[in-house]
């Protein structure tokens, strides 16, 4: 069987990724909620599922008993990361999702579990304009 040659792609036919990138600063969080790798990994995986995203891989690292955690959940739709400072009651969450995934639903799950007393969320529309 002979393979058909694929046509050249016109610039307008090139995939243009688009999505939302949420940057959340969460503070006033009980320190005990911010230092357990397994609990935070489970939380971010649940957040991804709630958003309609597909988890590919995750990795979390704890810096010692009672200290912070840094972690990433790699998604087919992009990623969710978290960095925590229990000594300051603070967590920084970064949620970037494209396609039909809904990052605001992921953030709602994270906030419901961490119970921050203060939050600042920046929303960045991500897209690529190819000229």
Active-site positions read 78, 83, 98
Beta-strand ranges (E) seen in 28-117 are 55-62, 69-75, 78-85, 90-98
Do 91 and 34 contact (CB within 8 A), yes or no? yes
| Residue entry with tokens 């990623």 | 79
List, in order, residues 6 or more apart from 10 with CB less than 8 Å away: none
Rg (CA), the chain: 18
Alpha carbons 57 and 42: distance in angstroms, whole number: 12
């Amino acid at each position: 069987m002979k393979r058909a040659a694929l046509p050249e792609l016109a610039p307008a036919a090139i995939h243009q990724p688009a999505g939302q990138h949420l940057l959340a600063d969460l503070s006033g969080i009980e320190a005990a909620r911010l230092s357990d790798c397994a609990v935070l990994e489970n939380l971010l995986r649940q957040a991804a599922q709630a958003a309609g995203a597909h988890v590919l891989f995750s990795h979390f690292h704890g810096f010692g008993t009672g200290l912070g955690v840094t972690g990433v959940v790699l998604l087919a739709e992009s990623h969710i990361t978290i960095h925590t400072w229990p000594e300051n009651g603070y967590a920084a969450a970064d949620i970037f999702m494209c396609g039909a995934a809904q990052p605001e639903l992921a953030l709602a799950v994270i906030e419901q579990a961490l119970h921050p007393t203060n939050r600042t969320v920046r929303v960045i529309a991500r897209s690529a304009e190819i000229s």
